[in-house]
């Protein structure tokens, strides 16, 4: 039996708790029905971590009846937080501890946080100082630091799973790496990569739309947005995804310097507000946003938040912003949270582009994408018969 040992960092968050739930429901060794089960040996959040090389028993003992309750995240938080030990040095001692326990090369760390520097350092430490693997839904370590660091993190393709960072679960990142690794040159990419902004556009183009601020609030309640919705509306989230896409193609792109970025709204004046105050304050934008959408509609057009990359010789032109398109065009006809990417290469030429459409992420799809990355890392993957 090939068991995968996973350590989930961010286990008490939206994505992390859904990942725990899916693993316990479908992949746990206790179920006895999986040929390649997954054992959770560690969990962490911003307060500290809990590690047991033999598996976190209290998790694997959670009764099945608890797994489908609506408030599983709260249940899990209440269960884990008293056990999570406060660590003064955060994650920096973690790898030493897991290596000391004889687990070097036996672990996959899953990053479901929205952390920056600490997580970036941790990813680097794992890839360069151990034989363990990483799977990440967190885009920051890949997008916010220099292109050389991206190369360092992704140098061993099989040890670094990142399909949930862009169009989670839709293979986009893996496809781009494949194109690069077989010298299939990409010349143009265009797409809508944000489920939350797609949802907001779709709602705003309705005949009698709710106000922009109400729609954003709803998108946040439905967990379509980033932990901080300002990251969606400033365009930062899409810019992070475009940076990752460009870097998969070995373009030395820096998010701040190389992308022509226009937010969905101008978020500069809201930067220092709390999430709650931000969600209230953006009602000031309602009239202007409504006018943009109704003006476009009068011309039988609509607006989409589009990211594009155009390769011109040695240079690349990258843009992110709200763009007017025909309502029946490839991107104008996208509905709700759906994402779409169109990739033009030397073989997939204009008119024959490689197009991927997938539902916008959300917690279930993202957690499923993470589990597929885990599966791809199994050293001894076996087939089996599974009850459907």
Ligand X SMILES: NC(=O)c1ccc[n+]([C@@H]2O[C@H](COP(=O)([O-])OP(=O)(O)OC[C@H]3O[C@@H](n4cnc5c(N)ncnc54)[C@H](OP(=O)(O)O)[C@@H]3O)[C@@H](O)[C@H]2O)c1
Closer of 98 and 113 to ligand X (Cβ): 113
- Residue selected from 4, 6, 8, 15 as contacting ligand X according to rule CB under 6 A: 15
> Coil, helix or strand for 17?
helix
Question: Do residues 40 and 60 make contact, with C-beta atoms less than 8 angstroms apart?
Answer: yes
* Cα–Cα distance list, 243 to 149, 236, 318 (Å): 13, 10, 9
13 near ligand X (CB under 6 A): yes
Chain residues 326-385 in contact with ligand X, contact rule CB under 6 A = 361-363, 366
C-alpha to C-alpha distance for 15 and 28, rounded to whole angstroms: 18
Task: Report the half-sphere exposure of 46 (CA within 13 A, side-chain side).
Answer: 5
The string of DSSP letters for 32-45 reads: S--SS-EEEEEEEE
The minimum distance between CB 216 and ligand X, in angstroms, equals 15
Least distance between ligand X and beta carbon 208 (Å):
28
Distance CA 63, CA 177 (A): 40
Residue at shortest CB range from ligand X: 13
Q: Which of 127, 137, 244, 282 binds ligand X (CB under 6 A)?
A: 137
Give the nearest distance from C-beta 249 to ligand X in angstroms: 20
d(CA 269, CA 74): 33
- Judged by CB under 6 A, does residue 275 bind ligand X? no
Span from 11-19, 100-108, 263-271, 298-306 in contact with ligand X (CB under 6 A): 11-19
Q: Annotate each residue in 29-48 with x if it binds ligand X (CB under 6 A) or - if it does not, as one string.
A: ---------------xxxx-
Q: Does 20 bind ligand X (CB under 6 A)?
A: no
Which residues fall within 8 angstroms of residue 64, CB to CB, at 6 or more apart? Answer: 25
Distances (CA, A) of 319 to 168, 221, 242, 243, 367: 21, 29, 9, 10, 29
The residue among 323 and 339 lying less far from ligand X, judged by its C-beta, is 339
Q: CA dist 49 to 72, 114, 142, 226, 293, Å?
A: 19, 16, 23, 23, 47
- Any contact of residue 9 with ligand X (CB under 6 A)? yes
Return the residue of 55, 115, 229, 321 that touches ligand X, per CB under 6 A: 115
Q: Which listed residue (112, 133, 234, 316) binds ligand X by CB under 6 A?
A: 112
According to the binding rule CB under 6 A, does residue 198 interact with ligand X? Answer: no
**Torsion of the alpha carbons at 261, 265, 270 and 273, rounded to the nearest 10:** -100
Q: Which range of residues in 9-17, 151-159, 302-310, 372-380 is near ligand X by CB under 6 A?
A: 9-17
Q: Least separation, in Å, of the C-beta of 10 and ligand X? A: 3
Tell me phi and psi for residue 341, to 5 degrees: -135, 135
16 is an interface residue for ligand X by CB under 6 A = yes
Burial grade of 44 (CB within 10 A; 0-12, 13-18, 19 or more): buried
Q: How far is the CB of 337 from ligand X (least distance, A)?
A: 9
Nearer to ligand X, 28 or 113 (CB): 113
Our CB check for ligand X shows the closer of 237 and 344 to be 237
Window contacting ligand X (CB under 6 A); options: 132-140, 152-160, 213-221, 295-303: 132-140
Q: Per-residue contact track with ligand X, 148 to 177, x per CB under 6 A?
A: ----------------x---x---------
Count of residues engaged in binding ligand X, rule: CB under 6 A:
30
Among 4, 28, 38, 113, which residue interacts with ligand X (rule: CB under 6 A)?
113
Nearer to ligand X among residue 159 and residue 241 (C-beta): 241
Question: Strand pairing of 133-136 and 160-161?
Answer: parallel
Contacts 24+ apart (CB under 8 A), 211-220: 211/283, 211/286, 211/290, 212/282, 212/283, 212/285, 212/286, 212/289, 212/290, 213/279, 213/280, 213/282, 213/283, 213/285, 213/286, 216/279, 216/282, 217/279, 220/279
Residues that bind ligand X (CB under 6 A): 9-10, 12-16, 44-47, 91, 112-115, 118-119, 137-139, 164, 168, 223, 226-227, 361-363, 366
């Amino acid at each position: 039996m090939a068991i995968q040992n996973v350590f989930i960092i961010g286990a008490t968050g939206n994505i992390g708790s859904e990942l725990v739930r899916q693993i316990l429901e479908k992949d746990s060794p206790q179920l006895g029905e999986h040929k390649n089960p997954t054992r959770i040996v560690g969990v962490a959040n911003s307060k500290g971590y809990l590690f047991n090389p033999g598996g976190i028993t209290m998790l694997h003992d959670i009764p099945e009846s608890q797994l489908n309750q609506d408030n599983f995240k709260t249940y899990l938080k209440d269960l884990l937080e008293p056990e999570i030990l406060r660590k003064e040095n955060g994650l920096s001692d973690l790898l030493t501890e897991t290596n000391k326990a004889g687990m070097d090369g036996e672990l996959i760390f899953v990053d479901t946080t929205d952390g920056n520097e600490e997580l970036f350092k941790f990813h680097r430490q794992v890839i360069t100082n151990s034989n363990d693997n990483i799977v990440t839904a967190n885009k920051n370590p890949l997008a916010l630091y220099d292109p050389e660091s991206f190369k360092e993190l992704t140098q061993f393709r099989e040890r670094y799973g990142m399909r949930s960072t862009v169009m989670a679960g839709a293979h986009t990142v893996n496809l781009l790496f494949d194109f690069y690794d077989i010298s299939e040159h990409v010349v143009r990419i265009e797409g809508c990569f944000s489920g939350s902004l797609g949802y907001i556009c779709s709602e705003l183009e309705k005949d009698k739309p709710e106000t922009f601020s109400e729609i954003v609030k709803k998108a946040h309640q439905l967990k379509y947005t980033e932990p901080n919705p300002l990251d969606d509306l400033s365009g930062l989230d899409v810019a992070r995804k475009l940076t990752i896409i460009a870097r998969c193609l070995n373009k030395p792109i820096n998010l701040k310097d190389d992308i022509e970025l226009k937010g969905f709204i101008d978020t500069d004046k809201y930067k220092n507000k709390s999430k709650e105050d931000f969600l209230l304050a953006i009602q000031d934008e309602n009239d202007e946003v409504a006018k943009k959408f109704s003006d476009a509609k009068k011309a039988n057009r609509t607006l989409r938040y589009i990211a594009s990359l155009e390769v011109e010789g040695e240079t690349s032109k990258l843009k992110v912003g709200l763009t007017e398109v025909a309502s029946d065009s490839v991107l104008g006809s996208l509905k709700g949270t759906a994402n779409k990417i169109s990739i033009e290469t030397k073989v997939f030429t204009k008119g024959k582009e490689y197009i991927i459409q997938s539902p916008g992420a959300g917690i279930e799809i993202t957690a499923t994408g993470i589990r597929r990355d885990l599966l791809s890392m199994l050293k001894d993957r076996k087939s089996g018969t599974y009850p459907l």
